[in-house]
């Protein structure tokens, strides 16, 4: 027997050992004439060259699909036969190919041998690493033929296409709502269960998905792994990088159907639409005045008229079931104070003046009366 002196693997022929040693040395003496790829053995090169020639000599007798190698055909035929000869000795799950079992075993061992050289992330499969690396570059090579939306991985594109063909094969067994992908259904089900299995070690905030926790952790670590290749800016999530890149490219993919004006973000487009529709979705609960944007509403909260009303009216709440009205001077209509509402809530969480007294109406089938205290002057 011929034994490898590095990993002790044994071979019946000296040539096989020689080829095997190239795994350890990294030697790849057989180069493809059509591309830059190189291989450890001539047989590997021969199989690879069929990619360029398109030659597929191994045909499936069940469906006539053809393959470049006999091993690929054998693996494919197990789809028809249902054969799964490789079994996990931990959980007894079976697989059609030994490589699938090898990958599955990493779930039990926690082994993640494929490490990203741009960040600290590691993965159980090389395909996961390759997909992850695209997020650093903002690369999305898979494009939807219907709307031109792009994706990092082909599986995301496949799920997305179901939106256009109105196909939602994954149905919720609780409310019967249907979804285009299983992952979307899984996310939806947590609405019913309230399940949030991923918890932040720093602040104990909980999340329904691990990816949400990963993004959240960057608040604590201040990590910004998504870097712009045009300038020095970096971002916490890939979507922010994609949006930022439009500053450099000038891309404005969102167009107004009314006037044709284009915008860089969906938010900018939605805001612009309100010019045509007159919609003002942000309202002051105290005086009922409405605004186009949330920032305008916050500015209103800090207006002089609003602050004067807060300074002059120190409201004391005692228990009551009656409804009371106050006027903040911003509108003719008076505001109905709702149950469990506070001045702090009306202010969006900000205190107006240092000596203002927030009121709290905590109604539990009891009466509430509101007394206005005036200055002695």
Q: How far out from the chain centre does Cα 377 lie?
A: 59
Which of 182, 200, 221 corresponds to the end of one domain? 221
Dihedral over Cα of 296, 299, 301, 305: its sign: negative
The 10s digit of each residue's pLDDT in 235-257 is 998 889 999 999 999 999 988 98
**What is the phi-psi region of residue 54: left when phi exceeds 0, alpha when psi lies from -120 to 50, beta otherwise?**
left
Report in angstroms the alpha-carbon separations of 271 from 210, 216, 281, 337.
32, 28, 10, 30
> What pLDDT, on a 0 to 100 scale, did the predictor assign at position 292?
83
Q: Please indicate, yes or no, if residue 270 is contained in any of the structural domains.
A: no
Q: Please indicate, yes or no, if residue 134 is contained in any of the structural domains.
A: yes
Q: Please indicate, yes or no, if residue 363 is contained in any of the structural domains.
A: yes
> What pLDDT, on a 0 to 100 scale, did the predictor assign at position 25?
87
CA angle 149, 151, 152 (to 5 degrees): 160
DSSP letters, 311-337, are: HH-EEEEE---S--EE--SS-SSPEEP
Bridge partners (DSSP) listed for residue 67: 58
Report the number of distinct structural domains present in the chain: 5
Q: Please indicate, yes or no, if residue 228 is contained in any of the structural domains.
A: no
Q: Please indicate, yes or no, if residue 230 is contained in any of the structural domains.
A: no
Q: Please indicate, yes or no, if residue 323 is contained in any of the structural domains.
A: yes
* Short-list 294, 360, 286, 267, CA closest to 330: 286
Strand-pair category, 86-87 with 94-95:
antiparallel
- Grouping H, G, I as helix, E, B as strand and the rest as coil, residue 180 is coil
> What pLDDT, on a 0 to 100 scale, did the predictor assign at position 341?
41
Range of the domain at 78: 58-109
Q: Are residues 134 and 152 in the same domain?
A: yes
Q: Are residues 94 and 152 in the same domain?
A: no
The 10s digit of each residue's pLDDT in 320-364 is 434 444 444 444 434 444 433 444 444 444 333 333 333 333 333
Check pLDDT > 90 for residue 118: no
Stronger pLDDT, 138 or 361, i.e. the higher one:
138
Q: Are residues 347 and 320 in the same domain?
A: yes
Q: Are residues 74 and 40 in the same domain?
A: no
The mean pLDDT value of the chain amounts to 77
Q: Are residues 289 and 348 in the same domain?
A: yes
Q: Are residues 157 and 179 in the same domain?
A: no
Which of 183, 205, 221 corresponds to the end of one domain? 221
Q: Which two tokens stand for residue 221?
A: 């670590």
Q: Are residues 286 and 356 in the same domain?
A: yes
Residue 204 sits in a domain of what CATH number? 3.30.160.60
């Amino acid at each position: 027997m011929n034994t490898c002196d590095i990993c002790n693997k044994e071979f019946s022929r000296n040539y096989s050992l020689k080829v095997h040693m190239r795994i350890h040395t990294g030697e790849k003496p057989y180069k493809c004439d059509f591309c830059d790829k190189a291989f450890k053995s001539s047989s590997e090169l021969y199989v690879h060259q069929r990619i360029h020639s398109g030659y597929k000599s191994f045909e499936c007798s069940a469906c006539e699909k053809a393959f470049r190698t006999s091993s690929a055909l054998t693996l494919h035929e197990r789809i028809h036969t249902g054969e799964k000869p490789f079994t996990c000795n931990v959980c007894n799950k079976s697989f059609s190919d030994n490589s699938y079992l090898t990958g599955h075993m990493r779930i039990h061992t926690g082994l993640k041998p494929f490490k990203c050289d741009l960040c600290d992330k590691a993965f159980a499969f090389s395909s996961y690493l390759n997909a992850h690396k695209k997020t650093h570059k903002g690369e999305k090579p898979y494009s939807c033929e219907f709307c031109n939306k792009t994706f990092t991985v082909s599986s995301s594109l496949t799920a997305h296409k179901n939106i256009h063909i109105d196909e939602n094969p994954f149905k919720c067994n609780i409310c019967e709502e249907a979804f285009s992908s299983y992952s979307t259904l899984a996310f939806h089900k947590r609405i019913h269960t309230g399940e949030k299995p991923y918890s932040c070690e720093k602040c104990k905030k909980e999340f329904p998905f691990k990816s949400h926790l990963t993004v959240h952790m960057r608040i604590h670590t201040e990590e910004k792994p998504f870097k712009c290749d045009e300038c020095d800016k970096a971002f916490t999530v890939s979507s922010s990088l994609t949006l930022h890149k439009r500053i450099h490219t000038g891309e404005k993919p969102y167009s107004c159907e009314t006037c044709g004006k284009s915008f860089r973000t969906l938010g900018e487009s939605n805001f612009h639409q309100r010019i045509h529709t007159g919609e003002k979705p942000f309202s002051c609960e105290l005086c009922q005045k409405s605004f186009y944007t949330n920032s305008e509403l916050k500015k209103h909260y800090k207006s002089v008229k609003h602050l004067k009303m807060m300074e002059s009216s120190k409201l004391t709440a005692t228990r009551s079931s009656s409804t009371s009205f106050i006027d903040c001077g911003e509108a003719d209509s008076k505001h109905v104070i709702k149950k469990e509402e506070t001045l702090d809530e009306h202010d969006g969480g900000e205190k107006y003046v240092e000596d203002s007294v927030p009121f709290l109406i905590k109604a539990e089938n009891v009466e509430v009366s509101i007394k206005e205290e005036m200055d002695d002057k």
